[in-house]
Chains A and B, each alone.
Chain A
Amino acid sequence: MSISTSPPPPVVKAATAGSSSLARSEPPIIVFEKVSKVYANGQAAIRDASFTVRPRDFVFVVGASVAGKSTVIRLLIREERATQGHVLVEGQDLARLKHRHLPRLRRKMGIVFQDFKLLPALTVEQNVAFAIQVTDPGRPHLKEKVGEALYIVGLEDKLNAFPTELSGGEQQRVAIARALVHRPRIFLADEPTGNLDPDAGWGIVQLLQQINHRGATVVMATHNREVVDLCRRRVLAIEDGRIVRDESEGAYLRDGDAIL
């Protein structure tokens, strides 16, 4: 079950279980409805963006730097509120979500970032356990649940290592394990391969696909062209805050552009 960090197989055609006909009949798990986001300093980051994501979809959000990819993620975890329009998660309008209900939203989601966000003073095991301890201390079988999450990411033999003793790819796996302990229905990743060499990055993307196969909806913001082109999953392209392309088995660049 574990995934090695050794060089990836040259071509991996991802299974397309995520877009089964069953999923099509279900209501969308994420909806952006004419969403605009203007930051407090007047910077417009998202302009009139509309799209939906079905349960068990795997979506790459691509675009140049400052296109607005991270803003999409921040809107989904309600770190930011839409200036106009509606962001819905499982039918819930995040604009109407009360502050005290934010934890419930975030426990439905697993979130990882480019910079891993691990606590350097804690071991691998403690970093993963932390997510349970601060939300549901006293949850029975803590050790087993942590072990299970670390097994999924292939780090069951690094329980007592500290983050600084791990490679970048391994650190990102710890972050993914931590994000998995609440068994999230939605998994969000903002440039998860941004700090990794291509092999390690590919390993992480395979892991995310595996999480997707296990039933989670995955949204990954990236400008890693190689990965997007290899996977051929749904691609949402953003340019200057606008959705300019939405393809179900897309490439990083528009077909015409790719030739250039």
Chain B
Amino acid sequence: MNPIPALKFVARVAVQNILRNRGIAVASILTITLTLLGAGVAVVVVHALDGVLHTEEAQASVLKVFMADHVGFASEVNLEHNLGSPASVASATFENKDQAAQQAGSSLGLTQAINLLERSGAGNPLPASLNFHLKNIKAVSELNQQVRTSALLDSGPHPTDYNADVIPRLERYIFVAQLGGGLVVGVVGAVALVIITISVRTAAYVRRREIEIMKLVGATDWFVRWPFVLEGVIVGVISALVASVILLGVGLGFGGGHSLALGIGAPFAGVTVLALIVAGGALGSVGSFVGVRRSLST
């Protein structure tokens, strides 16, 4: 079989189908656009939320390990080396007593109190610390358990410090956002799939005589199926394009014309559009396969 005329045939019939059943095509494009828009908004919102949470997470993913005053620099380096090596640790920074005092002074307004203590001969009360920046918020408590057994730590009641309660809360938010987003995308995808299946089944019904003749004269399933699959892909991709334009347009509106979708950068917008098009095309082809299957049974 010569592929070029075969592809021409497929393209011609697919376009013919869409034009012949314009009403159905427009209706399915509108509905699929709306559903893809729902999915797109869900993805953008989850992404924005994710961004916020990640900033929070990065701040919360710090384990401060306070050092006993007698610990020498070599031991600290040793501890850093031992604990800094696990895969979960992104980086480790050392904060000496003076830096700690400075930090406490500026962020807590305790400069005068510290100065007072130092002048009274009690010295700098703040311990030096190793600050571990972890890649994953979940690893914080685990590393904390390991560190606490070390003899090098400050002997006070709080030898380490991390933002304990923020962690489960953040985890919960992230989980809910992802679950919600996933749910929306799933439901919306299922709806779009059903619509395309129905639309193709209708097109197959309209063309039933043609399909019957094709089978009688010995056309292969290929010739019956592929125009419908292409039709589904065209409808899906057009819907995705319309949804993208609306999504980005609304995003631009929100961002005062300066930034794309909800202040999220161009790369993410590009990925979203691409994902919508792929999703539209995939929905179209799968829906068509299902929709036309019944017509191929004999």
Docked-complex contact B218 and A182, CB < 8 angstroms = yes
Q: Which of A102-135 contact B (CB under 8 A)?
A: 102-107, 111, 117, 119, 130-131, 133-135
Write the nearest CB–CB distance from A174 to chain B, whole angstroms: 12
- Bound-state CA distance A103–B298 (Å) is 11
Interface centre among B6, B212, B219 (most CB of A within 10 A): B219
Q: Is B122 an interface residue (CB 8 A)?
A: no
Docked-complex contact B216 and A137, CB < 8 angstroms = no
Q: Is A79 an interface residue (CB 8 A)?
A: yes
- Bound-state CA distance A137–B217 (Å) is 13
Q: Which of B176-232 contact A (CB under 8 A)?
A: 209-210, 212-221, 223
Q: Is B156 an interface residue (CB 8 A)?
A: no
Q: Is B106 an interface residue (CB 8 A)?
A: no
Give the residues in chain B near A133, CB-CB below 8 Å.
5, 9
Docked-complex contact A137 and B212, CB < 8 angstroms = no
Q: Which of A90-109 contact B (CB under 8 A)?
A: 99-100, 102-107
Docked-complex contact A107 and B1, CB < 8 angstroms = no
Docked-complex contact A130 and B213, CB < 8 angstroms = yes
Docked-complex contact B217 and A138, CB < 8 angstroms = no
- Bound-state CA distance A186–B212 (Å) is 19
Q: Is B74 an interface residue (CB 8 A)?
A: no
Q: Is A86 an interface residue (CB 8 A)?
A: no
Docked-complex contact A117 and B9, CB < 8 angstroms = no
Q: Is A249 an interface residue (CB 8 A)?
A: no
Docked-complex contact A100 and B212, CB < 8 angstroms = no
Q: Render B256-298 as a binary contact track against A, CB cut-off 8 A, 1 for contact.
A: 0000000000000000000000000000000000000000001
Give the residues in chain B near A130, CB-CB below 8 Å.
213, 217
Give the residues in chain B near A136, CB-CB below 8 Å.
1
Docked-complex contact A119 and B218, CB < 8 angstroms = no
Docked-complex contact A103 and B8, CB < 8 angstroms = no
Docked-complex contact A117 and B215, CB < 8 angstroms = no
Q: Is chain B's interface secondary structure helix, strand, loop, or mixed overall?
A: helix
- Bound-state CA distance A181–B219 (Å) is 13
Write the nearest CB–CB distance from B60 to chain A, whole angstroms: 60
Q: Is B108 an interface residue (CB 8 A)?
A: no
Docked-complex contact B218 and A137, CB < 8 angstroms = no
Q: A79-B298, A137-B2 are in contact. Are A107 and B218 (CB under 8 A)?
A: yes
Docked-complex contact B220 and A100, CB < 8 angstroms = yes
Q: Is A77 an interface residue (CB 8 A)?
A: yes
Docked-complex contact B6 and A119, CB < 8 angstroms = no
Q: A117-B212, A119-B210, A138-B2 are in contact. Are A106 and B9 (CB under 8 A)?
A: no
Docked-complex contact B6 and A137, CB < 8 angstroms = yes
Identify the closest chain B residue to A101 (Cβ). B220
- Bound-state CA distance A189–B77 (Å) is 95
Q: Render A168-186 as a binary contact track against B, CB cut-off 8 A, 1 for contact.
A: 0000000000110110000
Give the residues in chain B near A79, CB-CB below 8 Å.
298
Docked-complex contact A119 and B209, CB < 8 angstroms = yes
- Bound-state CA distance A119–B212 (Å) is 11
Q: Is B52 an interface residue (CB 8 A)?
A: no
Docked-complex contact A106 and B221, CB < 8 angstroms = no
Give the residues in chain A near B151, CB-CB below 8 Å.
none
Q: Give the residue of A104, A106, A119, A138 whose beta carbon is less than 8 angstroms from that of B215.
A: A106
- Bound-state CA distance A136–B221 (Å) is 13
Docked-complex contact B2 and A135, CB < 8 angstroms = no
Write the nearest CB–CB distance from B226 to chain A, whole angstroms: 11
- Bound-state CA distance A77–B216 (Å) is 8
- Bound-state CA distance A102–B209 (Å) is 18
Write the nearest CB–CB distance from B31 to chain A, whole angstroms: 28
Docked-complex contact A134 and B223, CB < 8 angstroms = yes
Docked-complex contact B217 and A182, CB < 8 angstroms = yes
Q: Give the residue of B5, B209, B210, B214 whose beta carbon is less than 8 angstroms from that of A137.
A: B5
Q: Is B113 an interface residue (CB 8 A)?
A: no
Q: Give the residue of A105, A117, A138 whose beta carbon is less than 8 angstroms from that of B213.
A: A117
Docked-complex contact A138 and B5, CB < 8 angstroms = yes
Docked-complex contact A111 and B1, CB < 8 angstroms = no
- Bound-state CA distance A236–B220 (Å) is 33
Further contacts, 11 of them, CB under 8 A, given A117-B212, A137-B9: A100-B221, A102-B218, A103-B220, A106-B215, A106-B218, A117-B209, A117-B216, A134-B214, A135-B218, A136-B1, A138-B5
Q: What are 17 contact pairs spanning A and B, CB under 8 A? A: A100-B221, A102-B215, A103-B218, A106-B215, A107-B217, A107-B218, A117-B212, A130-B217, A131-B213, A133-B9, A134-B217, A135-B219, A135-B223, A136-B1, A137-B2, A137-B8, A179-B217
Top 9 A-B residue pairs of the complex, sorted by shortest distance between their CB atoms = A138-B5, A138-B2, A107-B218, A137-B5, A106-B218, A134-B219, A131-B217, A103-B218, A134-B214
Using CB atoms and an 8 Å cutoff, list the residues of chain B in contact with chain A.
1-2, 4-6, 8-9, 209-210, 212-221, 223, 298
